[in-house]
Amino acid sequence: MSNRHAAARPTLTSIRLANQADATAINKLVTANVGLGQLLPRSAEDIQRNVARFVVATKGSLIVGCGELAPLSDTLSEIRSLVVSIEARGCGIGSEILGSLVTMGRQKNLPRLCAFTHVPHPFVSLGFSIVPHTWLPEKIMTDCQRCDWFRRCEQYAVVNELSWGQSGPRGTARTI
């Protein structure tokens, strides 16, 4: 990569819990990536209503990434809407957000986390396992049945059994 491209990429300055003022920027990030086929659509109202479940990565006052920890049941929460702006990709920001969401799940004593992803290796490096979609009926009932890709999904289902072992996820996770 040339220095010109490296200089254009923002450097991560912090990961923090999102607040209401962040909802518009989160919506823009999510919407931009729905069009690329990487995320399921979310309404601006849904993001606004659930913004407290998000973390954001910032460079100065600019939000360059986000992710949400959404409950699906008493025993399962989903990491979703995990996205990094195109300009900030390749700097490890997505992995930092993911690590923060896993840490948040542990702090909340959540027994299991799941995600559906096109890129499973960052999840696997934090202790997730690739599983059949049918192992996540809560997700299927909540979102999958309404999805255009239902029964022909190209994403990997991943699960982390947080209650199995208390040594913490492999890799590093930033406390928020």
Tens digit of pLDDT per residue, the chain (176 long)? 444 444 444 454 699 999 999 999 999 999 988 866 667 788 999 999 999 999 999 988 899 999 999 998 888 999 999 999 888 888 889 999 999 999 999 999 999 999 988 888 888 998 899 998 777 767 666 665 566 555 666 677 899 987 654 444 444 344 44
- 17: in domain: yes
pLDDT for position 24: 96
- Whichever domain contains 55, its CATH number is 3.40.630.30
In sequence order, what are the residues at sequence separation of 6 or more whose Cβ sits closer than 8 angstroms to the Cβ of residue 150?
A: 144
pLDDT for position 60: 86
Contact of 88 with 15, CB cutoff 8 Å? no
Tokens of 8: 């254009």
SS3 147: coil
> What pTM was estimated for this model as a whole?
0.79
Q: Report which of 113, 112, 151, 120 is spatially closest to residue 133, judged by C-alpha positions.
A: 151
pLDDT for position 153: 66
pLDDT for position 35: 65
- 169: in domain: no
CB atoms within 10 A of CB 164: 9
Domain carrying residue 77: 3-161
- 176: in domain: no
Total domains in the fold of the chain:
1
In sequence order, what are the residues at sequence separation of 6 or more whose Cβ sits closer than 8 angstroms to the Cβ of residue 100?
A: 15, 55, 67, 173, 174, 175, 176
- 168: in domain: no
pLDDT for position 89: 85
